[in-house]
């Protein structure tokens, strides 16, 4: 039997980060809408009425402010995402894992100040975005967490461990949306941002007191260990960025290099879709004829995340006894496409609820992609590979925001669901790429679970 510290590792880290993220996401979107309304109308009575806030001018301007916020998060996070994974191969996973939580505390402080000080402009949210991006944000959490799992697992159990960790994204999302929706509705935005800050404090304590680096490491500051590196400005970034690129582009047996590139492309498109979903979903559901309240939005997203988590924790392990993981990954994409098409044409609450049910297996694909990618590279390249993948994810934040936040105001008068049709189209592209990958010869066999 595995020691407890090998059984429970990075799962709570991902849980705390995603819980805080999904508490903050609708909260900062509502904060932006409040600030925009106040700047446009200078009338608190108008801005306190959620129906008045649904007018097209507020929706459109808020969407563009959110585009700037996401662009800031993306641009600032790209350099850290490129270097931190390969640095973690030498300095340890915990060092990289804890950095995003520390700066996220500052981000939470800025957003909380915006709530408490009404005179602060809506553009202060860009400072909060910069703090999140400086250490890579969620991509740094993912690259350090999945590298940690790759270090402590063997290939036969890696896919399931990756799936369990991936499920924490959705379990955290469920808790975050429920808690965030309740706090915003019953207490206010200040309480939501306070809970956001509390999640980061708990995560920092967990990393410091519970997690142990899986491999012997040098000092976390080993990048300053030589006189030459102390004298050369930028040597640290260039050294670890080079290692990340080398891990992805080096020659490998058979078609493994091409397979790795296609898997990273699938990760990019999946994140493009997920970020686009998060960017416009609140605006879309609050607009007529759906007219969701903040509490309804929180309940819907909580149910959606819960079902995605159940798909990974319960359904996926059972199905792996009967089907190959690649088959399950492709079936997952089919259900995801169907859910987005239905969401695009949803006109009432019942149709939106069916979206969550149909999309239940949608998280399986990315868990399989992470496991396959990890199996291709060596033990000393896990962080570097996930770092490159994370930098691609950071880039797609900006692209997704440009596509979906830019498209939504344009289609609002005619067909508001068009962004979700685009998401379904991107998911079909992932299906085609996964089919291509499945037809490549495998260097190492991938096994189904046996009873």
Q: Give, for all 451 residues of the chain, the pLDDT tens digit.
A: 567 788 899 999 999 999 999 899 889 988 998 888 888 777 666 666 655 555 667 777 887 888 788 778 877 887 887 777 777 877 778 888 999 999 999 999 999 999 998 889 889 999 999 999 888 888 789 888 998 998 888 877 888 899 999 999 999 988 987 888 788 888 999 999 999 999 999 999 999 999 988 765 554 444 444 444 444 445 656 777 788 888 889 888 889 999 999 999 999 999 899 988 988 888 889 888 888 887 788 788 788 889 999 999 999 999 988 899 999 999 999 999 999 999 999 988 899 999 999 999 999 999 999 999 998 988 888 888 888 887 787 777 778 877 887 888 888 888 989 999 999 999 999 999 999 999 988 765 444 444 3
Q: Which residues contact 143 (CB under 8 A, 6 or more apart)?
A: 81, 84, 85, 88, 96, 136, 383, 386, 387, 389, 390
Domain chopping of the chain, boundaries: 1-213, 252-441
How far apart are alpha carbons 138 and 441 in whole angstroms? 33
The count of residues in the chain is 451
The pair of three-digit structure tokens given for residue 400, joined into one six-digit string: 């997704």
What's the sign of the alpha-carbon dihedral 162, 163, 166, 171?
negative
Nearest to 413 by CA among 8, 57, 141: 57
How far apart are alpha carbons 183 and 424 in whole angstroms? 32
Nearest to 17 by CA among 79, 104, 84, 75: 104
Nearest to 133 by CA among 97, 88, 79: 79
What's the CATH architecture for 252-441? Up-down Bundle (1.20)
pTM: 0.80
The pair of three-digit structure tokens given for residue 246, joined into one six-digit string: 């080398």
How far apart are alpha carbons 187 and 271 in whole angstroms? 32
- Write out the DSSP string of 234-277: THHHHHHHHHHHHHHHS--STTHHHHHHHHHHHHHHHHHHHHHH
How far apart are alpha carbons 169 and 18 in whole angstroms? 6
Residue 174 · residue 310 · CB < 8 Å: no
Same fold flag, 1-213 and 252-441:
yes
Domain range 1-213, CATH class: mainly alpha
């Amino acid at each position: 039997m595995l020691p407890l510290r090998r059984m429970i590792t990075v799962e709570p880290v991902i849980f705390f980060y995603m819980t805080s993220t999904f508490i903050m996401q609708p909260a900062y979107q509502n904060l932006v809408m409040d600030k925009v309304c106040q700047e446009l109308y200078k009338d608190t009575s108008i801005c306190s009425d959620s129906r008045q806030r649904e007018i097209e001018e507020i929706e459109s301007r808020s969407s563009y402010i959110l585009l700037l916020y996401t662009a800031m998060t993306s641009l600032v996070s790209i350099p850290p995402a490129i270097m931190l994974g390969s640095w973690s191969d030498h300095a340890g996973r915990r060092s990289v894992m804890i950095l995003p939580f520390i700066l996220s505390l500052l981000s939470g402080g800025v957003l909380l100040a915006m709530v408490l000080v009404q005179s602060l402009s809506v553009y202060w949210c860009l400072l909060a975005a910069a703090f999140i991006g400086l250490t890579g944000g969620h991509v740094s959490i993912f690259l350090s967490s999945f590298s940690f799992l790759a270090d402590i697992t063997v290939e036969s159990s890696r896919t399931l461990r990756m799936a369990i960790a991936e499920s924490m994204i959705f379990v955290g999302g469920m808790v975050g949306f429920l808690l965030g929706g309740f706090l915003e509705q019953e207490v206010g935005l200040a309480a939501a941002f306070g809970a956001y800050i509390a999640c980061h404090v708990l995560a920092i304590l967990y990393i410091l007191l519970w997690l142990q680096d899986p491999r012997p490491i040098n000092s976390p500051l080993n990048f300053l260990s030589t006189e030459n590196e102390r004298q050369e400005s930028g040597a640290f970034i260039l050294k670890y960025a080079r290692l990340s690129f080398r891990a992805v582009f080096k020659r490998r047996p058979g078609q493994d290099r091409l397979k790795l590139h296609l898997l990273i492309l699938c990760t990019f498109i999946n994140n493009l879709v997920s970020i686009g979903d998060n960017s416009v979903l609140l605006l879309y559901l609050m607009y007529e004829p759906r007219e969701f309240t903040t509490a309804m939005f929180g309940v819907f997203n909580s149910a959606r995340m819960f079902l995605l988590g159940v798909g990974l924790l319960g359904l996926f392990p059972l199905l792996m006894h009967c089907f190959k993981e690649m088959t399950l990954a492709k079936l997952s994409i089919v259900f995801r496409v169907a859910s987005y098409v239905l969401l695009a044409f949803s006109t009432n609450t019942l149709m939106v609820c069916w979206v969550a049910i149909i999309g239940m297996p949608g998280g399986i694909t990315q868990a399989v992609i992470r496991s396959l990618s990890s199996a291709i590279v060596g033990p000393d390249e896990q962080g570097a590979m996930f770092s490159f993948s994370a930098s691609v994810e950071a880039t797609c934040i900006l692209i997704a925001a440009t596509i979906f936040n830019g498209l939504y105001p344009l289609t609002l008068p005619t067909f508001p669901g068009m962004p979700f049709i685009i998401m379904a189209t991107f998911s079909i592209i992932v299906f085609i790429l996964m089919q291509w990958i499945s037809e490549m010869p495998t260097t190492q066999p991938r096994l189904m679970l046996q009873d």
